[in-house]
Amino acid sequence: MLVLKFGGTSVSNAAAIQQIAAVLKEKKYPHHMVVVLSAMSGVTDMLISCYQKAGKQDNSYHEVIHLLEAKHMEAIEQLVPYSFQIEVKGRIKLLLRELEDICQGVLLLDELSDSIKARVMSYGELLSSAIVSVAFHHQGLPNTLIDSRDYIITDSNYLNAKVDQRKTYARILEQMPDVDLVVAPGFIARTDAGKTSVLGRGGSDYSASIYAAALGAERLEVWSDVDGMYTADPRKVKAAHSIKELSYKEAMELAYFGAKVLYPPTIAPLVTANIPLLLKNTFNPSHKGTLITATPAPGPNIIKGVSCIDNIALITLSGSGMVGVPGIAMRMFKAVATRNINIYFITQSSSEQSITIALADTEGQAALEALTDEFKYHISAGEVDPVNLEQHMSIVAIVGNGMIQQPGIAGTMFSILGDHKINIRAIAQGATERNISLVIRGEDSVTAVNLLHDSFFLAKSEQTAKALA
């Protein structure tokens, strides 16, 4: 059996949804398939804006809900024969009325919580899956629509929920309908206590990998609007191109450092179950895409890709009083973790006089406060310097298994950036030598990614071209 996930652009309008149906028909029955769907593109952001407006006692969330209604109704009108529209339109209206009631509740009670926000955010996938399921029926693809909240069980970190694999896999195995085609909303789940949770932005990929691992799928296919994982973000680097094959670890590193086409937690369940992951383009299905497995065929380059995360803050803790004192790093990470702040990057100077961490810009101030509080006695005693926060930074990372024991790669990176006067604020190399990451100023990020990409990929293809000439 196969699990296929279609992202926001793949369900963004009637034409795209028809394209999905064409992809499925190509697969030909009797393949058992589970199709996992994202919200229509832009819808999750619109839902967040509804929640935020209601929280600020701003009634204009009604206008956003009207826009949502128009967007979904238009898709129905183009996909479903007239005489069948009334029923599905009624279901969509019902979901939107529920959403309106929740927003009204937020506005009246002046109550904001992650649990309510997750509930609001869940409507995108509920709406899209309801429409796509009906559209499939009318395209000759009979199917059963399920609610993923009945199967995927999480902790109560509502907006970035962690899946309880044991309970979830048991439910999927025991209770999933045994039919040829199941349609499931991605992203949404439920806590043990029965409240709606969501799996983090981009989380539909993760829902799909959970279904694939639980069901022991032959393959997971993630269908998006690009020809797979590229050597760099195609929005930043014109010369970026699709990578044929990657290892799970390489794909995880590229995703972790910003390759948005894949949500990083997606990989882990597949590794354990040894399920191949294929990234494909809904709008160019004949392209082979990117195949991700434990043992990829070797490619032409040592470096597989250059990733980049923008809007990063750097926080440095330094001071002579830190030398040789055990537990400083642990206290630093704990202080940040208690505020639920994710650390992307850690580096320590060899003299142990400073530790630098990178996190999202939006969390810089909170992390600064947490650390200033944690080390206040050391700071006032002069053993630790006041905590330093630098904002508007970017992390640029190069990734590739082939870098292992290959000297000179970091040197090449430094000299290329140095030649172009791009200052490197911090450096880290993964202990596995699969990635080298650098922190630079945000304004330099596009130039840096292009320079590194040219150097590691174009030079190589020019050499190859010369050799072949």
Contact footprint for Mg ion (CB under 5 A): 7, 202
CA distances from 118 to 112, 123, 125 (A): 11, 9, 12
| Residue 207 beta carbon to ligand ADP: minimum distance, rounded to whole angstroms | 11
- Complex with Mg ion: residue 118 or 371, whichever CB lies closer: 118
| Residue 121 beta carbon to ligand ASP: minimum distance, rounded to whole angstroms | 7
The count of residues interacting with ligand ADP (CB under 6 A) is: 19
- Write the secondary structure of 79-144 as one string of H (helix), E (strand) and C (coil): HCCHHHHHHHHHHHHHHHHHHHHHHHHHHHHCCCCHHHHHHHHCHHHHHHHHHHHHHHHHCCCCCE
- Complex with Mg ion: residue 201 or 460, whichever CB lies closer: 201
Does 291 engage in binding with ligand ADP (CB under 6 A)? Answer: no
Does 196 engage in binding with ligand ADP (CB under 6 A)? Answer: no
| Residue 365 beta carbon to Mg ion: minimum distance, rounded to whole angstroms | 28
- Complex with ligand ASP: residue 201 or 331, whichever CB lies closer: 201
- Complex with ligand ASP: residue 12 or 168, whichever CB lies closer: 12
- Residues 5 and 221: beta-carbon distance below 8 Å: yes
| Residue 8 beta carbon to ligand ASP: minimum distance, rounded to whole angstroms | 5
Does 450 engage in binding with ligand ADP (CB under 6 A)? Answer: no
- Complex with ligand ADP: residue 321 or 442, whichever CB lies closer: 442
Question: Token match 């191109």: residue?
Answer: 241
Report the residue count for the chain: 469
| Residue 232 beta carbon to ligand ADP: minimum distance, rounded to whole angstroms | 6
Site for ligand ADP in 7-26 (CB under 6 A): 7-10
- Complex with ligand ASP: residue 7 or 296, whichever CB lies closer: 7
Those residues with Cβ within 8 angstroms of residue 312's Cβ, 6 or more apart along the chain or in another chain = 344, 345, 358, 359, 360, 361, 393, 394, 395, 439, 442
Those residues with Cβ within 8 angstroms of residue 258's Cβ, 6 or more apart along the chain or in another chain = 233, 307, 308, 309, 310, 395, 397
C-alpha 38/C-alpha 44 separation (Å) is 9
* 242 phi/psi in degrees, rounded to 5: -70, 140
Work out what residue 264 binds among ligand ASP, ligand ADP, Mg ion, none; the CB cut-off runs from 5 to 8 Å by kind.
none
Among 42, 234, 299, 442, binds ligand ADP (CB under 6 A): 234
Single-letter amino acid code for the residue at 155? D
Q: Which residues bind ligand ADP (CB under 6 A)?
A: 7-10, 38, 202, 224-226, 229-230, 232-235, 259-261, 305
